[in-house]
Chains A and B, each alone.
Chain A
Amino acid sequence: MVPLSWYIVLSAIVFSIGVFGFLARRNLIIVFMSLELMLNSVNISLAAFSHYLQSMRGQILVFFIITVAAAEAAIGLAILIAFYRNNPTIKVDEINLLKG
């Protein structure tokens, strides 16, 4: 039997990797993917909890998270495209018109 904590630790590590990606990468698309990574890490822990609790809720939430992730991807990439049309860059550190 795999202990629950293994899953949770895995989830935590992946989450942290996602955070690292979000904070460190320049390319917005990869930043976005880091976000997806974070969501997936949550999904792992939710599924694990769900399993170990013998409850359905976690899995249902995973389902919704995936749904929302899809919607987010659509909107996020649309925003990215709209932005790219006006300012052809997707470098995080080149986007600072608004500041102060």
Chain B
Amino acid sequence: MTIQQAFFSYFAGAIVALSLLVVTRKNPVHSVLWMLLLFVHIASLYLFLNAEFLAAIQIIIYAGAILVLFLFVIMLLNLRKEETEKRFQGQWPFGLAIGVVLAVFVVLIVGKIGVLPELGQYSVEAVKSEGHIMTVGKVLYTEFLLPFEIASVILLVAIVGAVVLAKRSLE
């Protein structure tokens, strides 16, 4: 086992464990906090994969924006009694079974992944020479201009939608 593999093993183990914690904690606030930790670990994995920019936005957006939003809502809804009630619903054994079987199936299938297509132009060296953010930016604003613009519309819709739905009273 190389050092990378050892590191990966740790992170992978942590990610799995944290994921399980996220979905099993009774208190949603705890879940959110475990998730924060999870996101940090995932961001670290991105660093492993030479994706600094992704690591950054994983922290900034996911942890900084999305999770905070979750926390806000949890607070807003003031779910006190939550802690006293059952965390799983009646069908959870099915959920568990499906989760396990799905994992087994998918792992069985994808675990054998081997052959990859011809390598592209963005080798680690190439990206490093230009800087990851630079590379991403270039690609994003040329090749992926259209998706980028669409994403902007999506965000706009999200704003409008959130306002329309959540505003206390419009009239």
Contact = CB atoms under 8 A, between A and B. Distances in A.
A69 B38 CA distance: 16
Interface string B43-56: 00110111101100
Interface string A20-34: 111111110110111
Given A5-B110, A54-B119, A70-B158, A33 B22 contact: yes
Given A29-B70, A71-B157, A80-B73, A64 B151 contact: yes
- How many A residues are at the interface, by size bracket? 35 or more
Interface in B72-125: 72-74, 76-77, 79, 82, 85-92, 94-96, 98-100, 102-103, 106-107, 110-114, 116-117, 119-124
Nearest to A60: B144
- How many B residues are at the interface, by size bracket? 35 or more
Interface of B: 2, 4-5, 8, 12, 15-16, 19-20, 22-23, 25, 28, 31-32, 35, 38-39, 42, 45-46, 48-51, 53-54, 57-58, 61-62, 65-66, 69-70, 72-74, 76-77, 79, 82, 85-92, 94-96, 98-100, 102-103, 106-107, 110-114, 116-117, 119-124, 126, 135-136, 139-140, 144, 147, 151, 154-155, 157-159, 161-163, 165-166
